Amino acid sequence: MADEETLRVLKELLVWTRVGFYAEVKSMLGDVLNTEKKKLAFQLADGVRAGESIRVELKMSPNDLSDLFKQCTSLGLMEQLEGGKRRRLFDLSNFGLLSTIQGARK
């Protein structure tokens, strides 16, 4: 029973945390991902695809993609996994930032 109560409290804290930081995260994402190409690169960083694959698909320079991923990681928007892959910690669609790029890859 105590485990269920702990889980309930943690879920409630998660809800309040999301609400409390939504505006700050959206603003930070908008500031860092200030081009459509950066938004796409961030969204494609799912922890499965290698950066090189993303870079080639989006025709980005190695330095630009590396700088973007380093910045996102240092700001806590992304994490680095084993093997050098990166995984975004936020989905841009949750912040209304994906709608402008949804058709860009089709």
The two tokens of residue 14 are 């998660």
What is the separation of C-alpha 35 from the centre of its chain, rounded to a whole number of angstroms?
14
- ∠ CA 106-90-81, nearest 5°, is 95
CATH topology of domain 2-105: Arc Repressor Mutant, subunit A (1.10.10)
pLDDT of residue 106: 42
User: How does pLDDT run across 8-63, given as a tens digit for each residue?
Assistant: 999 999 888 888 899 999 999 999 999 999 999 999 999 999 999 999 999 999 99
- Domain-wise residue ranges, the chain: 2-105
DSSP, collapsed to helix, strand or coil, labels residue 94 as helix
